[in-house]
Structures are given as structure tokens and as C-alpha cells.
């Protein structure tokens, strides 16, 4: 397989690091971008033994910086084959606990950050006549996910945007997919509400996740699923299998999905009023 030119945002840890690692393992040329510049460099240095991997400091809320990075990668390599708009934050809490700061920060990173990536990558891919944009959403973008309304809202938006762009882009040679994982074992669960007011739900995010999904999905396993889904040009890449079952159930019985979500809130304890 010909080496592909890829950018992974949020690549210093978690899902992004796992995707960058999987891309490098098959010989792709990867730019690991993250607001954590030191973390991105550590990942790039480790992976450089297997492939051409470089690091870039990037705040995805800065549209000009995103556009400049994507253009520079295209200019350096002559093309841009794969873009993983993956950077995101976790925000949780009861609806009445959440401030506008919770909402605005989540929208800025999880939605606008993806919009900036799409806005930067899509014209490049249209011009070259090919490319694949992969946006990280969540199972929270497919099913009712209480106790994290801003997160849920942004992930639904990413799913909707990805599917709509996929329909628009298909005849023009550009592919679009959305990643919708269940709970993945990443540092995101231990760093909910970053630089924002703490809530009980955020403080206990890992414990709450394990009550919903007993076994957290390993990030490397998800990365394998993602690359397989990209190779197949799947519209939605949903993993693990338990998440695909939950998604199917929610589609077949929406009212039941809301009821189950409400029961899960009460099972978590300490969050229901």
C-alpha cells in the first residue's frame, strides 16, 4: 500500500495517539498535532523509528492556525490524504450544574475544532480530487447520553455534519467518516471538565463509565477498528460491538433508549435529584 500523508489532531494521547501509532506502523507519513506540544513531540519521537512522523503544536480553536498547518503539510508533501479531526475534551455534570463556560468551552473545542479542521482540509482535497476526512464523534452522538449535555450536543453535531458533508462530497472524490466509540480507556476520563468548575459527574467519570460499559475499550483496539473502517469507507465507525448493539437498539426503540438512559443515571447514584 502506498504511504499516505495524514494529520491527527489531539495526537499526544488517547485515541489520537493510538491512531497515529497505527498509521505509523503501516508506514504512513503522520503529523501529530496537539495543544500539548511536548506530548506531541514525545509521540512523534517514539514513532519516528517506524515512519516519517513529525509533531506540531496546535490549538484547534484557532482557525487560522489549523488552516496554516493543513496547508503546510500539503505544500511539503504535495498532497493531504487523511485528516483525523480528533481533538476534544470531556465535560460532565447535571444540566443545572453546568455553566455557560462549560457549554462554550465544549463547543469551542469539540465542535468548532472539528469545523476548523473540515474547513481547512476540504478545499485542499477538492482541489487534489481525493482525500478522507475522519471526524471523532462518540456514541454520545448517536444515543441519549445524560450527565454530559454539552459533550452530547457537540458529538451529535459532529455526526450530523459528517454525514451531510459525506453526501455532498461523495461525487467529488472526497470521503468523510465519523468515529463513534463507546467508552475508551484514555486519560480523557481522568481529566473531565479541564480548567472548568468541577462536578460530581466529572470527578467520577471513569467510575460512571465503567458502570455503563463494564470493560473500557482499549485505544489501540479502537485505532485498528478506525483504520479498518477508513479502508472500507464506512460512514460511521462504531465500536466496540456492545456499542453497535446499543446504537441498533436506540434506532429501533428511541423511547426505550431514553428510558434506559434515565435508569443508568439513577444507577450511578449521587447524581439524581
In the chain, what is the greatest distance between 2 CA atoms, to the nearest angstrom?
A: 57
Catalytic residue from among 70, 122, 151, 217: 151
Contacts of 117 (CB under 8 A, 6+ apart): 9, 60, 66, 70, 83, 85, 133, 135
Range list of β-strands (E), the chain:
5-9, 29-34, 53-57, 82-85, 131-136, 174-181, 184-185, 217-218, 236-239
SS3 category, 62: coil
- Compute the distance between CA of residue 104 and CA of residue 91 in angstroms, rounded to an integer: 11
- Measured distance CA(246)–CA(256) in Å, rounded: 11
The residue with cell 470493560 is: 215
Dihedral angle sign, alpha carbons of residues 18, 66, 68, 40:
negative
Residue 81: helix, strand or coil by DSSP?
Answer: coil
217 noted as active-site residue? no
Q: Which residues are catalytic?
A: 151
Amino acid at each position: 500500500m502506498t504511504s499516505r500523508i495524514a494529520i491527527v489532531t489531539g495526537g499526544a494521547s488517547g485515541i489520537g495517539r493510538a491512531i497515529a501509532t497505527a498509521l505509523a506502523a503501516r508506514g504512513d507519513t503522520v503529523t501529530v498535532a496537539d495543544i500539548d506540544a511536548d506530548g506531541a513531540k514525545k509521540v512523534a519521537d517514539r514513532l519516528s523509528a517506524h515512519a516519517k512522523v513529525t509533531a506540531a503544536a496546535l490549538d484547534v480553536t484557532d482557525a487560522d492556525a489549523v488552516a496554516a498547518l493543513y496547508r503546510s503539510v500539503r505544500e511539503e508533501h504535495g498532497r493531504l490524504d487523511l485528516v483525523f479531526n480528533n481533538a476534544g475534551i470531556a465535560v460532565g455534570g447535571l444540566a443545572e450544574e453546568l455553566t455557560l463556560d462549560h457549554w462554550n468551552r465544549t463547543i469551542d473545542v469539540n465542535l468548532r475544532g472539528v469545523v476548523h479542521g473540515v474547513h481547512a482540509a476540504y478545499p485542499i482535497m477538492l482541489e487534489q480530487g481525493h482525500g478522507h476526512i475522519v471526524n471523532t464523534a462518540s456514541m454520545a452522538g448517536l444515543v441519549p447520553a445524560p450527565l454530559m449535555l454539552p459533550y452530547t450536543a457537540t458529538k451529535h453535531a459532529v455526526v450530523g455534519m459528517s454525514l451531510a458533508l459525506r453526501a455532498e462530497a461523495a461525487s467529488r472524490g472526497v470521503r468523510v467518516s465519523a468515529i463513534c466509540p463507546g467508552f475508551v480507556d484514555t486519560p480523557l476520563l481522568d481529566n473531565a471538565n479541564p480548567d472548568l468548575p468541577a462536578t460530581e459527574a466529572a470527578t467520577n467519570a471513569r467510575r460512571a463509565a465503567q458502570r455503563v460499559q463494564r470493560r473500557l475499550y482499549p485505544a489501540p483496539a479502537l485505532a485498528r477498528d478506525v483504520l479498518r473502517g477508513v479502508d472500507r469507507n464506512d460512514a460511521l465507525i462504531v465500536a466496540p460491538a456492545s456499542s453497535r448493539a446499543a446504537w441498533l437498539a436506540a434506532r429501533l426503540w428511541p423511547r426505550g433508549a431514553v428510558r434506559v438512559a434515565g435508569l443508568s443515571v439513577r444507577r450511578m447514584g449521587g447524581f439524581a435529584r
